[in-house]
Structure 1
């Protein structure tokens, strides 16, 4: 409860703001009467009455209308809200005698102008978002919604998607992240590094962080042979299935938690913009009790027309920045770069501005409600890093915007009715490089299809004709010539094994059976790319296909892959030696640790062997696992997707995430894998006094195994 004098001061500011806005809206309406030909208010008293009615419309009627018309606001990203508000202004003109608005467009212009004025006034009189947060918290306290002073401090887990620790450190040094720099400089927070799993992407990382288990999450997308289905973390149904397999009811957010703009719920009771929760709210009667739903964050934010205007303007500005940045890259001949047209500029504005603002608003609501743990994802930097580059100017501009939000939330923790601690982290980093298809003239899917004896149209590069190959990059013919001439020592050994095994003319071929929706790059061959990781599965064989079978049926595949200059190493299972990792100049038998020649995992760090060995044991591990080649000298690798900054495998900054935590918490030991990071966070929550979740402790088995 605030002291009585403080309440009077705050209440006086509220009254002053209302009066000031009213007076200025009256003046604005008079100016609009002069400037707009389709708007007329001939009597002196009409602007005063209309300003009053507009205030009632914005404060009382508008939130009620938006509850009914929420889909319009959601699917138009707030723009449709001004259409509805224009209708309200038109209704006011009918209600006040003598006021004339000739058309609907004029009504929308009046609505936008008045909403903009309210937003400007809030800034001028110092009533920014943090002040608004404080006043709302005070009102709730007076209504009796106080938080027990004996409760442990709440925790905000703020994920900056795709921000590696190396980029973070440079951004702190160069002044691109001043809010984080202040947390470090004033001694309130420490910075630590954590190493991702082999699959350095959001699906595996967030599943492990929130549930303490990310087994069998092989990539952001992967093929499951027993279901003939490509799992994709970006699919609501697949995300829900992944969470079903890994949730035991004891997730990190199971006790009074909330998740915002995440892939998974972490067993939180309150979710919005969360992928795995979308199927639960897609139909009547299927929504879980307590779930906020996809539109909850949008409603809370766009209920204020000024928010919609501010975010809409910010999104348009970001669109302009994207177009400008793309033009500058092309004119300067910057390499590597990728296409930045199509839907991407809109998607960028959606993540860098709209989703960011909605997420911050939802976090504020969670703090007002006194929720114990909130997990929120800021996605903008990762999205721009994919298309622009890891540390290029427009990616750093997005990072500065996220840093400002972290600073705002840190200030808000000092005003909330419950004490809060901020922990910032990333799910992975990014490694920059020239996209595989652009650099080598064909995608990994087309390469594997050709090596399996089935040249066909490349889904990314068009046909395999000479005319379709890019003018720049290493020609395919050079790669083929190198492979066919014998190549490196491992390729020669693999070819010798094939020759000793005999002819391949009578190799067995099992019919694929029923038609499948999963595209084959060759009969019975599926390839799935996930950043710097590619997975090859042979669908004519059940279970894991062993090295000896691959050599017999596709003799050119493995030798050509290990000799390819864009491929760092290949994992296969051998009937004789178990899991084996092949590189151009050596091999590593994971079961025994025997290395012949140069260790192909050496450039990928001291944890590479353990991380690869773990994936080899997954039920849905692909028959051939391919990691792109990492060049330590240039700190770059070529992703199998059309990205500049990318992740998903091993090599460089993509595997090094960051963890920013309060100094009162115990410094962690070396953190390797998202499951280990979950244990660290769980330990910190326990240290702060949070209750242990009371879930079942049992995880579901994959859907295919249920039958």
Structure 2
């Protein structure tokens, strides 16, 4: 994608801009006359007063308001734009004092006038295309003329646009069905090509984005995982943990290190310009002062968006509409008894609107500003589809509706690249896909945490049990109980072998135990037992033993744990470490010894694809690999699996579409071949930047900077 020509076009667009601005002014004058007639406490008795007030309100919105917002930005941010109308109301009240004869009875009336005028401006701007795109077009033309007078042409910039959680199979269906017309056009006209890539075992945003941006995701086991040496659960959604993860993996030469921008993602990729980025949040008070652009922090994206009062109206209206859509979709699912489904009440409708409307619009606004600034590479995450698919399903109507909206905004950015002051390419990609299935706790009557706790001798109330629909449990619960009872009494080949080993070995020398007097803040499902669930993987750690606990020790201390887990109908395979055989993958009907390659019975990794073996071997080398690493059971015939979290569409492990992401790239870039793992995808993206003429920070002697120190 290249920039378009510049000639008479900017002048014509400038003329249209002035004409539309005058039309909006006339509409605001008419609106003030209507408000004068219908709104009590508001009076404009003279004919000229609405005209003057409309002009002053335009100046307030376009000039004064952005200056005020630099000081009052927190009010707009923490109220999602709603609080800004209080400030605008104060401005309208000030206008009434400045124009003789205008009467506004009280502050509440001033706020109503401000909301009404902003709403009218937002509607008129949308209908007349008088929004930030129009401003972008005009400003871009001017900057392009200045850039053309420079020393030489810059290499094309790249927008890396991540559609979070969108697997390639769902993408292809959405293109075929017309739900993603922008993607369809890019493929139909031959400008772009679509390829797939295979994620790591941990098919989730933390591992994928860290690997994509930094070229390393070593020791990232899930979206959350337990570190025994610190007695701490790491969570990618925790700002301090995200900063620590980036500190461990950044060498200062990330994908965005050279004049890059990170917008709405987990990690910075060593970008000097960041906003809405999780790992940067702890740096605002200290390391942000060491950044090259101190103002371009988390609030910058919000400032660029809320600087226009009409955007606050769009945010409010869009949020309310999306909340209504979510409530309608949830009611529709319950009435039709759609399964699988999860609880979608509480604060979730608000959280959904935050990702599908507010953050999306702020991120798009920030990307446009990045293009105006001519930044070399921008990486942004569109999170809305992933959030809705978790609660609705991967290909249900409301998830596809979110995809349509994301596609529309990517189309808007594509049009912007045509007239940007610098040529830009668009590379769209996903960090993983999603595999659909009935949540483990709903399908089997207890969560994986409660299951492990019970098998370790500590029955306990399960907070997840009964949290969702009870309809299926009254008819099927007894059957599930029968299945579990059968599994624990005998079961498959590997369960029988494990029980035989326990009976044959008996007592054996124990390993040194860690002090158990201070369990720390991490919840134990049984004394000395921690379970962490992350999508389709669950991790079990025995905290009273240092380091990796061998299979033989687990058999001796909890003789029923491994046989019962391996025979459970919701568990596909488990990775454990044996003192005798090294790393071993256990499944219901077979095992695979990774060190020797010996397979007994059916290879438990076969249903998980040709890359499963190498990916499991890699995780076995991670310093914080848990004592038992569990992957959910994948059913190829139905293309589904039961996640260990209360989701419908989910990811985080192996099995089905969750492991298959996509990359949509310009046809002129080199074909990468097969891509396995996020680190390999990083090399591909880095190679494309180099191919386009971007400097490679890896060629420098010292790191440019570290993400956190």
Return the TM-score normalized by structure 1: 0.95
Cα shift at 1:100:
1.2
Cα shift at 1:138:
2.5
- Whether 1:563 and 2:557 are equivalent positions in the alignment is no
- Whether 1:645 and 2:649 are equivalent positions in the alignment is yes
Q: Hey, what's the Cα distance between the residues in 2 that align with 1:229 and 1:44? A: 69
1:307-386 correspondence runs (5 A): 307-386=311-390
Query: Any idea what SS the aligned residue of 2:474 has?
Result: coil
Corresponding residue number in structure 2 for 1:82: 85
Corresponding residue number in structure 2 for 1:153: 156
**Conserved? CA contact 1:586–1:596, under 8 Å:** yes
**Conserved? CA contact 2:593–2:599, under 8 Å:** yes
**Conserved? CA contact 2:225–2:539, under 8 Å:** yes
Q: Hey, what's the Cα distance between the residues in 1 that align with 2:405 and 2:147? A: 36
Gaps of 5+ in 1: none
Alignment deviations for residues 30-61 of structure 1 (CA, whole Å, 9 cap, x no partner): 11101111211111111111111111111111
> 2:232 pairs with 229, 253, 259, which one?
229
Alignment deviations for residues 161-199 of structure 1 (CA, whole Å, 9 cap, x no partner): 000000000100010100000000000000000000000
Q: Aligned in 2, Cα 1:639/1:697: closer, same or farther, shift over 3 Å?
A: farther
Corresponding residue number in structure 1 for 2:17: 14
**Conserved? CA contact 1:271–1:277, under 8 Å:** yes
**Conserved? CA contact 1:28–1:114, under 8 Å:** yes
1:457-468 correspondence runs (5 A): 457-461=461-465
Corresponding residue number in structure 1 for 2:75: 72
> 1:543 pairs with 538, 543, 547, which one?
547
- Whether 1:40 and 2:66 are equivalent positions in the alignment is no
Alignment deviations for residues 325-383 of structure 1 (CA, whole Å, 9 cap, x no partner): 00000000000000001111001000001111111100000000000000000000000
Alignment deviations for residues 592-640 of structure 1 (CA, whole Å, 9 cap, x no partner): 1111000100000000010001000000000000000000000000000
Cα shift at 1:18:
2.7
Q: Hey, what's the Cα distance between the residues in 2 that align with 1:145 and 1:591? A: 60
Q: Which moved more, 1:452-461 or 1:637-646?
A: 452-461
Alignment deviations for residues 427-482 of structure 1 (CA, whole Å, 9 cap, x no partner): 0000000000000000000000011111122232279xxx9994355445324421
Corresponding residue number in structure 1 for 2:253: 250
Query: Any idea what SS the aligned residue of 2:596 has?
Result: coil
Cα shift at 1:19:
2.0
How much is the aligned-residue C-alpha RMSD, in angstroms? 2.4
Query: Any idea what SS the aligned residue of 1:199 has?
Result: coil
Corresponding residue number in structure 2 for 1:577: 581
Corresponding residue number in structure 1 for 2:517: 513
- Whether 1:494 and 2:498 are equivalent positions in the alignment is yes
Cα shift at 1:124:
3.6
Cα shift at 1:5:
3.8
Q: Aligned in 2, Cα 1:147/1:55: closer, same or farther, shift over 3 Å?
A: farther
Q: Hey, what's the Cα distance between the residues in 2 that align with 1:588 and 1:508? A: 28
Cα shift at 1:698:
7.3
Q: Hey, what's the Cα distance between the residues in 1 that align with 2:96 and 2:149? A: 42
**Conserved? CA contact 1:245–1:700, under 8 Å:** no
Q: Which moved more, 1:444-453 or 1:276-285?
A: 276-285
**Conserved? CA contact 1:440–1:473, under 8 Å:** no
Q: Which moved more, 1:587-596 or 1:114-123?
A: 114-123
Cα shift at 1:102:
1.7
- Whether 1:187 and 2:190 are equivalent positions in the alignment is yes
Gaps of 5+ in 2: none
Q: Aligned in 2, Cα 1:481/1:2: closer, same or farther, shift over 3 Å?
A: closer
- Whether 1:62 and 2:65 are equivalent positions in the alignment is yes
Corresponding residue number in structure 1 for 2:535: 531
Q: Hey, what's the Cα distance between the residues in 2 that align with 1:265 and 1:102? A: 50
**Conserved? CA contact 1:245–1:699, under 8 Å:** no
Q: Which moved more, 1:255-264 or 1:102-111?
A: 102-111
Q: Aligned in 2, Cα 1:505/1:437: closer, same or farther, shift over 3 Å?
A: farther
Q: Hey, what's the Cα distance between the residues in 1 that align with 2:651 and 2:465? A: 21
**Conserved? CA contact 1:581–1:588, under 8 Å:** yes
Q: Which moved more, 1:449-458 or 1:562-571?
A: 449-458
- Whether 1:167 and 2:170 are equivalent positions in the alignment is yes
Q: Aligned in 2, Cα 1:397/1:253: closer, same or farther, shift over 3 Å?
A: same
> 1:607 pairs with 606, 611, 615, which one?
611
Q: Hey, what's the Cα distance between the residues in 2 that align with 1:230 and 1:336? A: 29
Q: Hey, what's the Cα distance between the residues in 1 that align with 2:705 and 2:262? A: 21
Q: Hey, what's the Cα distance between the residues in 2 that align with 1:700 and 1:495? A: 54
Q: Hey, what's the Cα distance between the residues in 1 that align with 2:511 and 2:666? A: 61
**Conserved? CA contact 1:507–1:552, under 8 Å:** no
Corresponding residue number in structure 1 for 2:487: 483
Return the TM-score normalized by structure 2: 0.95
Q: Hey, what's the Cα distance between the residues in 1 that align with 2:509 and 2:671? A: 61
Query: Any idea what SS the aligned residue of 1:19 has?
Result: helix
Q: Aligned in 2, Cα 1:299/1:129: closer, same or farther, shift over 3 Å?
A: closer
> 1:281 pairs with 280, 284, 287, which one?
284
